[in-house]
Structure 1
Amino acid sequence: MGAVGRVYAGALFSVAEEAGKVGEIKEQLSLVRDAVKKSAAFRDFLYHPGIKRQDKKRIISDVFSGILDPEMMNFFNLVIDEGRQYFLDDIYREYMEYYRRYRAYRIARVTTAVELTSDEEEDLKTRLEKIFGRKVVVEKEVDPAIIGGMVVRIGFQVIDGSIRSRLEELRAMMEG
């Protein structure tokens, strides 16, 4: 992860902790990040070099008024003033790392070909907590391209139990 994301996330986390809003700021940062990721129009507006920073801040203030806490709005304005809006995804990831340490849990990013049932999710969570010796939060993603099975990412560790990877291994063995 980038140094820019770490610096800005650290500053935001400090402000959030001081205000007693660590969880609220996490949710609001997630909301902003999702808006940037999911809306090409919003992303184009935010990244456009021809739009003045003041205009961006004014429009963002209008759009997010009543949704974002003052601390988050001030942070968003700072990011725009400094021209760091391109790093919002890095800032989000780093903030989540601060938050994870703050809450002392691990995040398991689980990719499956089909949606997990609540029983399957709970069983997976229990197994991962046993393996890692601490609370685990499961973030789910569905990707039919893995065909079946699942891929679990926790930090830098990857457990790839997908059918796609097994087929690729089999193909490599047959060609090799």
Structure 2
Amino acid sequence: MAELITLARPYAKAAFAYARDIGDLAGWATQLETLAAVSGYGKAKDVVTSPSMTPEQQANALIGVCGEQLDEKVKNFVQLLAESKRLALLPEVFTLFDALKTAQEQAVDVSLTTAFELDDASQQKLADALSAKLARKVKVNTAVDEQLLAGVIIKAGDLVIDGSMRGRLEKLAKAINS
């Protein structure tokens, strides 16, 4: 896996630099996400890795599946990847591109796991507090885990804040047992 990331990094950086320079990070991210999803799925994955097809055939097949969702510059990028026999790296290219985009936008993806569904006002209040604490824009993804009993678990990159009742009870049990 590390080798794939290493191989994908220069392509992701080049795509990012170009998209940043033309002011279309969101557009490129969407198109690369589409390409990554298509190239990693079933028969499209077989086409992208097929040794019996020429790079041009592979690129044209992938572009044909994605259709009008790709602009000309992204199609050229796909052709370049195909010529270099790197189409299979599209999922890694997208992952790296998205990480660069997030860093550029000074944003962070935050996962909120709660015991019950939060209303929009509560989610926004938590997002605002986290945005102030992390000094970044916060993109919130929520999930419900009924085993938590109450509270919330917040994950933002390496940061984990366990404010759940289950977590508190586990800490209390460890304190009592030690």
TM-score between both structures, scaled by the size of structure 2: 0.72
Equivalent pair of 2:45/2:88 in contact (CA under 8 Å): no
Shift of 1:81: 2.3
d(CA) in 1 for partners of 2:8, 2:154: 24
The code of the aligned residue for 1:94 comes to: L
**Percent identical residues:** 24
d(CA) in 1 for partners of 2:52, 2:100: 34
In the alignment, what sits opposite 2:82? Answer: 80
The code of the aligned residue for 2:86 comes to: R
Is 2:38 the counterpart of 1:35?
A: yes
d(CA) in 2 for partners of 1:120, 1:32: 35
Shift of 1:141: 6.1
Equivalent pair of 2:44/2:62 in contact (CA under 8 Å): no
d(CA) in 2 for partners of 1:116, 1:44: 42
In the alignment, what sits opposite 1:157? Answer: 159
Is 2:14 the counterpart of 1:11?
A: yes
In the alignment, what sits opposite 1:45? Answer: 47
d(CA) in 1 for partners of 2:113, 2:46: 29
- Note the 1:113-152 alignment, pairs <5 A: 116-138=118-140, 140=141, 142=143, 147-148=147-148, 151-152=153-154
d(CA) in 2 for partners of 1:10, 1:72: 14
The code of the aligned residue for 2:29 comes to: K
- Structure number with bigger Rg: 2
Query: How large is the Cα RMSD of the aligned pairs?
Result: 3.5
Shift of 1:137: 1.6
Secondary structure, counterpart of 1:66 in structure 2: helix
d(CA) in 1 for partners of 2:117, 2:46: 32
d(CA) in 1 for partners of 2:8, 2:76: 17
Equivalent pair of 1:125/1:136 in contact (CA under 8 Å): yes
Gaps of at least 5 residues in structure 1 are none
Equivalent pair of 2:16/2:100 in contact (CA under 8 Å): yes
d(CA) in 1 for partners of 2:53, 2:162: 44
Shift of 1:25: 0.5
d(CA) in 1 for partners of 2:94, 2:9: 9
Equivalent pair of 1:109/1:153 in contact (CA under 8 Å): yes
TM-score between both structures, scaled by the size of structure 1: 0.73
Shift of 1:100: 1.7
d(CA) in 1 for partners of 2:164, 2:55: 45
